[in-house]
Structure 1
Amino acid sequence: MRKCMKPSSFFLPVTTASVATLLMLMLNQAAAQDAQRPLIPLLKAEDIPTLCDSTLTTLRKRVSALEKLSPAHAKDSKKVLTEWNDLQIAFEDLQGPVDILNNVSPDAKVRSTTEACLIDLNKLSTELFQNEKLYARFKAIQPVDPVEKKLRQDILYSFDDTGVSLAPEKRARMKAILDKLNELSQEFARNIRDNNQKLTFTPAEVQGMPEAYLARAKRDDKGNYLLGFDYPDYKPFMESADNSDARRRYQIAFANHGTPKNLPILKEAMDLRHEMATLFDLPSYADLVTRRRMVKNPQTVDKFLTEVQTAVTQLEIKEIEELRVFKSETLKTPLAETRLDRWDSEYWQQKIKQSRYKVDQEALRKYFPTDAAVPWILSVSSTLYGVEFKRVEVPVWHPDVQYYDVIDSSSKKRIAGIYLDLFPREGKYGHAAAWATRGVSTLAHRTPVSTLVTNFDRNGLNSDELETLVHEFGHVLHGVLSNTKYVTQAGTNVELDFVEAPSQMYEEWARRKESLTLLAGFCKSPCPTIDDALLQRLTAAHNYGRGIRYARQLLYAGYDMAIHNDKADQEQPLAVWQKMEGATPLGYVPGTEFPGQFGHLMGGYAAGYYGYMWSEVLALDMLSRYNGKLMNPEVGHLYRKDILSRGAEKPAGEMVSSFLGREPNSKAFFDEISGQRLH
């Protein structure tokens, strides 16, 4: 997922005395030549309120100045769009650092104060897009080229969707709803992020876990293991722990680690979103948001999800029955008395993969040491896209964090910066994501910065985690290789149902011989090389469980649409989930409250989770352009030019068609589900 931002020159930790100076540097960034390296400032909790308030005041002054443009300039598209670009940069210069520190700062006080600042920034954003005078400015201008035309249209959409054209009382209600939704989103994320609960497991309950896992796990004074909700703790346990009751207990706790507080928050958000749609005389929130995406309406989403359901239903049933039979044979229990529970699925899938394909995810960590995997994906990206990554020592928020300059290989100029925050710690965002911390603007001589946040095992990655690294780095590249004129068109500011496509396409580089065999060259001490036999087994193991995997994505997408349809105000989120998960072959697990930790629903993907599979349609189709030669820099450079560099300057469908030389289609996606796609 992307986070889905920015300062100037070399920022040191901020002191109270330097706040005013920092503020001026940040607000002047858009007008200054970006000759020095832009870094994320290491803000202190006590300085953030002052910085936030001062910036908001200055931003409001900029808005006022844009309102009062002289008649000679008011219809000048270049003047109006340049002033807007400068305003958005000033806004982003505060939002970017505050947003990333809210998710990664080791200081709980920083996380708290940045949260309050983000809420205030979002309130200002709503005010901005309800400003009738500014709306009139953009309606009056005449774009001079296709980039300006699309930018103007996107800006007008933002004004319209925020309610600028509604009657005054409806507009006021719209603002109240948006402000409240922003507060609820922050609260929902905080309840998950700050849950530091540890589950206690006896030595008997962790039988089957790798020695390296147990060696790094925390223990109490009785020798029991203390495990939390970070993925390096949870996922390997669900795949390897032999004790079924322990897996059940862990899965229920994990599913509930945002509740009980988050279910009422989600319900309130559902009701507010439904009310928002009624303000526009639309039947549902899904109708409201999909009209700006590739699909255009919920009916297209429903049709697509029905096609996926047709493709996966019988395959999921077949795979679950295979797992049940395998469990019966392994445990020597009568088949009629053997059942497969949800907490069994990952465990027995791994057992089948070990038995059939000799693939042990934990054993793969020696093939993919973490300190080799990172320089490897940097090198692969360098070859494909004509860039270099230079490690630079800069001030960072935690000693684990790395920073790299991105250098264009042809011009030898620094074009961007990247932060890598790879390992778990208390209070940090618990999944994997890329933040577009600072967007590019060639008009303002502004270079981008992206931040990669993961929670990997320090010693090595399994194949799934390697795929995650490559996926999220795809988002990073989308940000730092963007080369747009205007900051609001930078990088991942594309339609939501396209934003995952570049990352999903890049996942293939984590599965193919020509890229994977390069990884061993980055090991500090000799590590085994992926040979043809192992690669074939890895491919077979990856393909196994497609039905279960896509059916789960289908459930998530279907649930998301169900709680944002025209009956959403009459539904309870847990009841809908119980009904929908209960209708699946593995059924609903009593006592679980999964929607309370389904962060996508409050983090920008509401009525948009279908976009993961919709994007994959485009990702797998774009992959065909490489014609099986993934390390071909000629195609890589074309992809950089047609997709990555353009950001949102063109509609996603047009960019994909330009890259492919034809209209996109879904054949490769459905071949992937059926196992017929050629790798």
Structure 2
Amino acid sequence: MTCPAPLQLPAPERAADWLEERRTTLLAEVERRVADLRVAPTGDPQATLRRWNDIALALSDLSAIGSVYAQVHPDEEVRTLGDRIVQEASKVSTELSLDPALYAVFAELDPDALDPIADRLLARVLRDFRRAGVDRDEATRGRLRELEARQVDLGQQMSRTIRADVRCIRIAPDRLAGLPDDWIAAHPVGDDGLVAVSTDYPDAVPFFTFAEDAAARRELRVEFLNRGWPQNDAVLRELFAVRREVADLLGYDDWPDYASEVMMIGTGDAIPAFVDRIAALALEPGLRDRAVLLERLRQDRPGATAIDAADSAYYAELVRREQYQVDAQDVRRYFDFAKVRSGLLEVTGRLFGLTYVPVDPGQARVWHEDVATYDVLRTPDDGAGSGAGERIGRIHLDLHPREGKYKHAAQFTLAEGVRDRRLPEGVLVCNFPRGLMQHDDVVTLFHEFGHLVHHVLGGRSEWVRFSGVATEWDFVEAPSQLLEEWAWDPMVLASFATDEAGVPIPADLVERMRRAEDFGKGYHARTQMFYAALAYDLHAHDHADLTARVRELQERYSLFPYIADTHFHCNFGHLDGYSSGYYTYAWSQVIAKDLFSAFDPDDLFAPAVAARYRDTILARGGEKDAAELVEDFLGRPSTFDAYAAWLAR
């Protein structure tokens, strides 16, 4: 068995040259391998699929490096080059998927000559060709090529605009009352006597949560909701039109029906039905908790008749402090970033049987000094934890904000893993503070790391198509949502969450935090259903005024009213990547709650169940349908019961 080596990344100043070199090499490899496949079929179905696998691996390599460097490199020219590389990779993929002669090579293969996983791959390859439009006439295929290229370009435009549109308000220092001391210390007074507060998460989230100045909170919230406006309004309008035309040319009722065909949910019209089901379940607890917020608001503003997003986070924090005895500022002192990062690695290493070995920055040669790189090893079966196990992947943690960097939190693929050929490599891109973190940030870090560990553990398939996080898109979030549970366990947190004196976070405080976290879950679920309905509706229907439709859907689903003159859709980046499928977060959460029911709440590290979960779900990548993976782990089909019980309590 060979032991693949990780990618040899360039020094930051050589990134552009390296990307160009990789681009030239990989495109030439794809061209050569495709030509061989066309003119010299092997006669062996399994061997033919392996040739296709080689092509898919080269294209994946090209797209992955382009995507990562487009989102994280500090040099704008390199980011632009990364975008161009993604466009080229997409163009080549589109050309291949619309090639009737290439399709014929696979259509003529005998599935009975394949092993079960290769047979599954062939079925997926044929489906991919059909969904691309290979069976349409040449004029239609030509138009589909144009539309796919335009869709990629529009998505990149949207992302660039969001990355670049960092807004700020400038306020007097005496308007910072309520904010943590370390936050205030990190925001010095400028020459104009004012303090700048940006819409980047490390600034905005604490400000929304703690700032006592209601007018300042509202001013920042309006700027936060207006990122990407007005540019992205026109971009989205065209993006939706492009997708509607694609669906029409391919014979689908609409884009959601096209996108849902390969999801667990199955059909587009099932999305609004699911959204309405969750919305109905969340209504009573949502109204109950919103009434508590409004009552607390009225103590400060007698006669108030409604509460919106400019005030909800602040008053939710007051309610948790006053009624649940949980002060988020007090909680923050237990979550020093460096300790949290170390704790995350220890927790996931113990849970999944992994060891993380730091890679010297000189050897890793990543794109920025903030990035921490680790080799991922399987812990030896003897439990010694010596780090002498097999290397199964490499991860790069890029966790702090900087200019031009991706503004949210996500896992990006740097390399897909292929058994004995390619080591899986993933990048975690987040925007956390460098000092003390809010517990919500800790939960987010665990969530996103769930994607990363799924990418690594699932990266040992023979086939690129099934490597890593390769399940149906509405299952992708379930393993990450499951991992959030470890960020709420008192014993788990006590292992790394300590104050400046080294005292662990008290178990009774964690229990109060959990009860306080349950406050508001109903109205949070309704907000998520607003987002899900928005993603579905804007793709399913043509609206002359996107902002007006956003307002209508917010009034229908969210329990918080629309804030005048805001344009949330322009910075809702999931409208690109998730398209009409934002419902997947709630769909996955239903499954995650069911998965968690198999774990012992008194011992979240119980080896048998942890290993079964790792091996039956994470390590299988996309080699089975998600419903089968879940049933393999639970011993039964997934149900709604655990989620409904959680939401109702």
Normalising by the residue count of structure 2, what TM-score does the alignment of the two structures yield?
A: 0.94
Identify which of 299, 315, 333 aligns with 1:348: 315
Which residue of structure 1 lines up, in the alignment, with residue 40 of structure 2?
Answer: 69
Which residue of structure 2 lines up, in the alignment, with residue 549 of structure 1?
Answer: 524
Following the alignment from structure 2 to structure 1, what is the Cα–Cα distance between the partners of residues 514 and 497?
19
Which residue of structure 2 lines up, in the alignment, with residue 599 of structure 1?
Answer: 573
Following the alignment from structure 2 to structure 1, what is the Cα–Cα distance between the partners of residues 217 and 590?
34
Q: 116-125 vs 216-225, which deviates more?
A: 216-225
SS at match of 2:328: coil
- Are 2:532 and 1:563 equivalent residues in the alignment? no
Following the alignment from structure 1 to structure 2, what is the Cα–Cα distance between the partners of residues 516 and 47?
42
Q: 99-108 vs 648-657, which deviates more?
A: 99-108
- Are 2:77 and 1:109 equivalent residues in the alignment? yes
CA contact (8 A) 2:173 2:189 kept: no
The 1:395–1:337 alpha-carbon spacing in structure 2 relative to 1, beyond 3 Å, is: closer
Deviations 1:117-157 (A, max 9, x none): 21111111111111212211222223422211221122122
Which residue of structure 2 lines up, in the alignment, with residue 8 of structure 1?
Answer: none
- Are 2:58 and 1:90 equivalent residues in the alignment? yes
SS at match of 1:45: helix
Deviations 1:387-412 (A, max 9, x none): 11111112121111111011111371
- Are 2:293 and 1:316 equivalent residues in the alignment? no
Deviations 1:482-530 (A, max 9, x none): 1212122111121100000000000000001231121147x8x633323
SS at match of 1:379: helix
- Are 2:266 and 1:296 equivalent residues in the alignment? yes
Amino acid at match of 1:354: R
SS at match of 2:565: coil
Identify which of 623, 635, 639 aligns with 2:596: 623
Following the alignment from structure 1 to structure 2, what is the Cα–Cα distance between the partners of residues 410 and 652?
29
CA contact (8 A) 1:366 1:528 kept: no
- Are 2:280 and 1:307 equivalent residues in the alignment? no
- Are 2:377 and 1:407 equivalent residues in the alignment? yes
Deviations 1:526-582 (A, max 9, x none): 3332323112211111101111210110000011111122xx235432221021123
Following the alignment from structure 1 to structure 2, what is the Cα–Cα distance between the partners of residues 538 and 39?
44
- Are 2:112 and 1:136 equivalent residues in the alignment? no
SS at match of 1:460: coil
CA contact (8 A) 1:41 1:97 kept: no
Amino acid at match of 1:368: F
Following the alignment from structure 2 to structure 1, what is the Cα–Cα distance between the partners of residues 231 and 171?
26
The 1:233–1:122 alpha-carbon spacing in structure 2 relative to 1, beyond 3 Å, is: same
Matches within 5 A, 1:459-538: 459-482=435-458, 483-520=460-497, 526-538=501-513
CA contact (8 A) 2:10 2:18 kept: no
Amino acid at match of 2:396: Y
- Are 2:347 and 1:380 equivalent residues in the alignment? yes
Q: CA deviation at 1:49?
A: 4.4
Which residue of structure 1 lines up, in the alignment, with residue 416 of structure 2?
Answer: 439
Following the alignment from structure 1 to structure 2, what is the Cα–Cα distance between the partners of residues 472 and 337?
38
Identify which of 399, 406, 431 aligns with 1:422: 399
Identify which of 614, 625, 629 aligns with 1:651: 625
Q: CA deviation at 1:342?
A: 2.5
Following the alignment from structure 2 to structure 1, what is the Cα–Cα distance between the partners of residues 214 and 176?
10
Q: CA deviation at 1:299?
A: 2.6
The 1:326–1:490 alpha-carbon spacing in structure 2 relative to 1, beyond 3 Å, is: same
Amino acid at match of 1:328: R
Identify which of 195, 206, 223 aligns with 1:236: 206
The 1:234–1:63 alpha-carbon spacing in structure 2 relative to 1, beyond 3 Å, is: same
SS at match of 2:539: coil
Following the alignment from structure 1 to structure 2, what is the Cα–Cα distance between the partners of residues 598 and 435?
18
Deviations 1:617-671 (A, max 9, x none): 1111111111323111221111111011100000000000000011110111111
Deviations 1:358-384 (A, max 9, x none): 222232222121111111111111111
Amino acid at match of 2:64: G
Following the alignment from structure 1 to structure 2, what is the Cα–Cα distance between the partners of residues 171 and 125?
13
Matches within 5 A, 1:117-266: 117-143=85-111, 144-266=114-236
The 1:544–1:123 alpha-carbon spacing in structure 2 relative to 1, beyond 3 Å, is: same
Q: CA deviation at 1:57?
A: 3.5
Following the alignment from structure 1 to structure 2, what is the Cα–Cα distance between the partners of residues 139 and 159?
10
CA contact (8 A) 2:307 2:561 kept: no
Which residue of structure 2 lines up, in the alignment, with residue 16 of structure 1?
Answer: none
Q: CA deviation at 1:47?
A: 5.5
Q: CA deviation at 1:218?
A: 4.9
SS at match of 1:664: coil
Which residue of structure 1 lines up, in the alignment, with residue 386 of structure 2?
Answer: none
Amino acid at match of 1:363: D
Following the alignment from structure 1 to structure 2, what is the Cα–Cα distance between the partners of residues 162 and 575?
33
Following the alignment from structure 1 to structure 2, what is the Cα–Cα distance between the partners of residues 399 and 198?
26
SS at match of 2:437: coil
Following the alignment from structure 1 to structure 2, what is the Cα–Cα distance between the partners of residues 219 and 100?
35
The 1:142–1:410 alpha-carbon spacing in structure 2 relative to 1, beyond 3 Å, is: farther
Q: 656-665 vs 89-98, which deviates more?
A: 89-98
Normalising by the residue count of structure 1, what TM-score does the alignment of the two structures yield?
A: 0.90
CA contact (8 A) 1:52 1:117 kept: yes
- Are 2:614 and 1:614 equivalent residues in the alignment? no
